Structures are given as structure tokens and as C-alpha cells.
Amino acid sequence: MTAARFTGISLAALIAATLASAASAQTIYVSNEKDNTLSVIDGKTMAVTDTIKVGKRPRGITLSRDGTQLFICASDDHTVQVFDLASKTVVHNLPSGEDPEQFALSPDGKSLIIANEDSNIVTVVDVPTRKVAFQVDVGVEPEGMDVSPDGRWGVNTSETTSMVHWIDMEKRTVVDNTLVGPRPRYAQFTKDGSQLWVSSEIGGTVSVIDTATRQVKKVVDFHIKGVAKDRIQPVGVKLTDDGRYAFVALGPANHVAVVDARTFEVKDYLLVGRRVWHLALTPDQKMLYTTNGVSGDVSVIDVDSLKVTKTVKVGRYPWGVAVKG
């Protein structure tokens, strides 16, 4: 065997081993809204390895910056639970305000910005002290939350007023509002912070907002052959770090839209489970996971091939999803 041939085989084996190791190190967490549980999925076998009881009506979930804890919106308990991944136990309950549904963690991991749907406010919790730092009045039925990469902006979408509220995190107040499509459900900044993507469930669109001007620069619409327009209800959005794709969960249309994030053109629609809600990318951006509420499962999408590779059964009405690894 030649040295070149040997080197090629060794390199291929090394790459395969590295990918397998990365996959095996990944763990997927899914909140099951109707079961009050958290499903734990092994990233290598794609099997559920544990089902853990948590608070009532768990919805939004996100990992701490160091990856040791999972924050869980226990909506009907009116708290955000801090779940320790090593011990698999809830170690703290944060004062989240009433009916927390979605939240966002600040870039430094010190502030959790929480939408309180029933009280029309946003609560900001200081994570190290586990105390409320401040609260801000926003529009009716606050839902989607995100924080800009530089930490300057906290944004909230209000479903009934169909607006994005721009919270100046230093001034601790709303300083601007952007009108978007009806019933905005989710918001995500691009990695560089130059754009904010906002889904509108009833409007059936996604608005792309220029952060500098806080004005809508593009509205992305969706059309799926054989699917009634009123069933196309965008909810979760996930942007790849390289700026290539925006994935949009289309609710009862049972598809995920693949949008070219540079041209804003819809490239494909991927059939997933019933009533797709939210999305999470793996840290290496190779795989995308979707929570499918009505079918009670998670779809696994290969980002390179844009193919659904597996379906994993979880609890009743899976809602949030987060990936560690």
C-alpha cells in the first residue's frame, strides 16, 4: 500500500471517527407540553434514553451558556425552572412572572428575558442572583423573544398587537415598535445582529427587519402545492450561523420551509410530523431537529442534503427543543 493511499484511508477514518464522536456527544432535550415531561434523546442512536418529570406545561427551553443547565418555561407553574443536566433534577425556580412561554438568554448568560403572555409584560431575571432585575410593559400577548448578539436589544413580539417591541437593555424600556404580520410568534437575530427574522402565524409570512433602522426590509411568503393557504402558519425560525439558510416551521402545514437567507427565496419544503412547532440546530449545524406537536415526535433533518432522515417518538405535544454537544 502506498503512503498516499494509507494517508487517504487514515484521514477518512479519522474524519468518520470524529463525526461519530461528535454525534455521540450530542444530547437532544424536548419539552412535552401535555405530559409535563422532558424527553432526552441520544444524538448517536436517536433513541429516547430518559423521560423526566418537570413543571406544569413546559414550553420554551434553552441551555445555559456553559451547557450545564437547562432553563424550562413551566408555564402553568408560573416559573422558569433551572434543570441541572448532571443530576437530572430541578435545582432552582426563577421568579419569571405569570405564564412564561418563551424567553431568550443574553449573550453573557447573565440575564434571562421572559415573555409573560397573560400579563403583557417582559420580565428580566438576573440569573446569578435569581432575582427579577426589571419588568417592561409591552403589547398584548407577548410571545417571541430574542436578544441581539451585542446585548443592546431585547426584542419581544406581541401576538394581538402584531408588533415587535424593541427594548433598550441599558435604559430598560421600549424605545421603538415595528409593525409585522398578524400574530407574530417567534423572533431570531442573525449571527451578526444585522437582521431580525419574525414569523407571523396568522399572516403566513416571515418579516425580515433591518436592525439599524428597525424597519421591515423583506416579507417572505409561503406556498405549498396541495396545502391550503390558511394551514401555512409560520412559528419557529432557525437561522444557520453561516447565513446560508433560514428554516421556518409552518405549523399545521406539516412542513419546514428552507429559505435562502441571502436572497430570501424559498428553496424547498420538507415534510415533517404533524403541527411542527419549534426547531434546533446542532452546534456543528449539521442536523436540525423539529418538534411536531400533534404527532408527538421529533423529525431529524440532515442540513447538507436537506432530507428528513429519522423520526423519534417522544411525549405528548412536544414544544421546545435544545441540543447540547
pLDDT digits (tens, 9 = 90+) for 38-55: 999 999 999 999 999 999
- Distances in Å between the Cα of 178 and the Cα atoms of 59, 108, 169, 212, 229 are 26, 26, 17, 12, 25
How high is the pLDDT of residue 24? 54
List pLDDT tens digits, range 152-199. 999 999 999 999 999 999 999 999 999 999 999 999 999 999 999 999
Contact 254, 273 (CB under 8 A): yes
How high is the pLDDT of residue 25? 82
Whole-number average pLDDT of the chain: 94
The pTM (predicted TM-score) of the whole model is 0.93
The residues, ordered by sequence, that sit 6+ positions from 124 with a Cβ below 8 Å of its Cβ are 111, 112, 113, 114, 132, 133, 134, 135, 136, 154, 169, 172
231 in helix, strand or coil? helix
How high is the pLDDT of residue 11? 43
Q: What is the mean pLDDT of residues 126-142?
A: 98
Is 1's pLDDT higher than 80?
no
Which domains, ranges and CATH numbers included, belong to the chain?
Answer: 28-324 (2.130.10.10)
Name the pLDDT band for 23 (thresholds 50, 70, 90).
low
